[in-house]
Each structure stands twice: as structure tokens, then as C-alpha cells.
Structure 1
Amino acid sequence: MRGLSIVLLASASFALSGCLAKTAFDVATAPVRAASKAVDLATTSQSEADEKRGREIRKREERLGELQREREKNEKACLSGSSQACDRLSAINAEIRILLPQVPVEPDDD
């Protein structure tokens, strides 16, 4: 019985030493992994920046399309004599003037 206890104790010590070594390795590399993760979160890759810019441009283009459709409706109403439509047309034109320089122009392929 005593021999069995010694064998179990010896095998347990080998198993625990592996666990201790892994734990020591994990503790030693934790600051490096944390710093690496922080850098990844703090920086933006070029592809992420491009995607974000593309989304912003698409939003502006969509808004510009909405404003142009709304402008056409208000222009017709303004020509028909609606002063509210004329005021709204002025506001829409001002927003379009602000938005237009922020939307890139696609070159014509002739």
C-alpha cells in the first residue's frame, strides 16, 4: 500500500509541475498580451479607416439624394405660391451647399 502511495505521489508531482510551469508561463506573458491587445484597440488599420470613410460617404450621398428629391417637391410648391415651401426650399439649398463638397465626384469614363 505504501508503494502505491509513493507512485501516486510521484506521478502527481510531475502532473503538478506541468501545471505550475504553464501557470508561470501564463503569468509571465500576460502583460505582453494585454499590451498587444491595447495597441490593437487603440489603432485603426488602413482597411478599417477606408471602410469607415466609405460608410460616411454613402451616408452623405443618400442624404444628398433625399434632399434633391425634397427640393424638387418644394420647388414645385414654391412656384405654385406656397411661402412655406419657399422657406423650406431655401433651407434645403443651404444644406445641399454644405453637403456637396463632402461628397467625392466620380470621374466620367468617356
Structure 2
Amino acid sequence: MAARAVTRDRVVNVNRLQLVGRLGDPPVESELPSGDVIASFRVIVDRPAGHGSGQRVDTLDCTAWTSRVRKTVRGWQRGDLVEIEGAVRRRFFATPAGRASRFDIEVSSARRVRRAASA
């Protein structure tokens, strides 16, 4: 069910998205300095024709933080058609040149729609 972003009395902020696309590479699990374990992967989503820039796809970085979602994505392979739900997050981190940031999708649920065709 979709949330209403505007009600009669107030504006409600919504940061929720759904993506359906191809998996760029198998998810990679890693442990952060904090001890948290994450699974990182990229989803490639086709753009509809006629959207101006000439770019045909968007490649979106995704991160699974919960053990339930990490377990779900663990067996995914390059080219699988996947569906994810989550929210856009801005992450801050230190680099040799100073603080930096990037946006990614924090995945709250995931499923494989179809396995990639065999090579």
C-alpha cells in the first residue's frame, strides 16, 4: 500500500523505493570497523526511452545490513533479475583526502525474480 505524502493538515516525508533490475555482480559480504557485517551489490536498472540524457541505464549501489536480507541475497549471481525495497541513504566516511560521502540504497527486503540465463 502506498503512503500518502501529503495529507490535508501536513506533509509527510517518505523515503521508500522499489527497484527491479539486473544484478551487476554477486553480493560481497564485508565486516566494517564497527563490527557490523554488510552485503554490498549493484542493481542495474534500464531507463525508459526518451528521458533526455542519452544514458540508458542507472547503476545503483545497494547495501543489506540485516542478517535476514544478507542471507536472501547471498546466492544471487550476476545477471539475476532482482527486486529490492529500501530507502536512499547518504553515508559519510573518512578518506586520505578528508571526509567524503556517497548515496546508496539501504535494502529492507529483497527477492530474486528470475535467475540469469546460463552462459
Shorter-chain TM-score range: under 0.3
More strand by share: 2
More helix by share: 1
Which protein is bigger by CA-based radius of gyration?
Answer: 1
TM score, norm. by length of structure 1: 0.19
Q: Compare relative contact order (CA 8 Å, sep 6+) and give the higher one, 1 or 2.
A: 2
TM score, norm. by length of structure 2: 0.18
